[in-house]
Amino acid sequence: MKKYKFKAVNRILQFLLPFLCAADNFAIVFLLCRLGLGILGRIGLADFLLQDPVLDYITKAVLILSVVYSLLPLVMPKGCFLYDDQVVLARYTITALNWKNKIAVPYYMIENAYVQYSSIYWTKDVFSELVPYGDFNYNVELQLRDGKKYIFSVQDAEDCCAEIMAKVEQYANK
């Protein structure tokens, strides 16, 4: 197993990355749950479903869920992990298009892995980045056989792509 750490734009963001991801996780989970409760209140179901003690329990449960989910980026190992049979992207954060904490991609699903040196900032791929606050100019792009692609920024991206493609070739020759 080989691990590559995620890379941010600069050293300050690299240090703050776990804390920013934790704040994102807390805010998104808490606000979405509160939005759901607000919608129930607006359509009139809150009077029947959410009496005072029940609403207190739900609010406390949402708060606990938000705190637990926000602690994941601080305590869990993050990065791109290359195992014998799959690539695991452990990120423990929420982005606009992907809520999964860990994304496992088997080597037989990978069509190509390369380093993208051009900026993705003003392209449609800006929202495809798996790790927020990453480097927009130096990314690994995994293209899968089913048309999906994963974009993430790691330290030593060339070595990461070479290792992934070597494992894909090794897996194909079995």
φ, ψ for residue 50, nearest 5 deg: -115, 75
Beta bridge partners, 142, equal 113, 150
Provide the residue-wise pLDDT of the chain in tens; the chain has 174 residues: 899 998 887 888 888 888 888 888 888 888 888 888 788 778 877 666 667 777 778 888 888 988 888 888 888 998 999 999 999 999 888 766 677 888 899 999 999 999 987 766 656 665 566 666 667 678 888 999 998 888 888 989 999 999 999 999 998 887
**Residue 6 · residue 79 · CB < 8 Å:** yes
User: CB neighbours (10 Å) of residue 41?
Assistant: 14
Instruction: Write the pLDDT tens digit of every residue in 87-138.
Output: 999 988 876 667 788 889 999 999 999 998 776 665 666 556 666 666 767 8
Q: What would the two tokens of residue 41 be? A: 């209140």
pTM of the model: 0.79
The whole-angstrom separation of Cα 42 and Cα 140 is: 45
The domain over range 79-172 is classified in CATH as 2.30.29: yes
The residues, any chain, with a CB within 8 Å of residue 105's CB and separated by 6 or more, are 86, 87, 88, 89, 142, 144, 150
| Residue extents of the structural domains in the chain | 9-75, 79-172
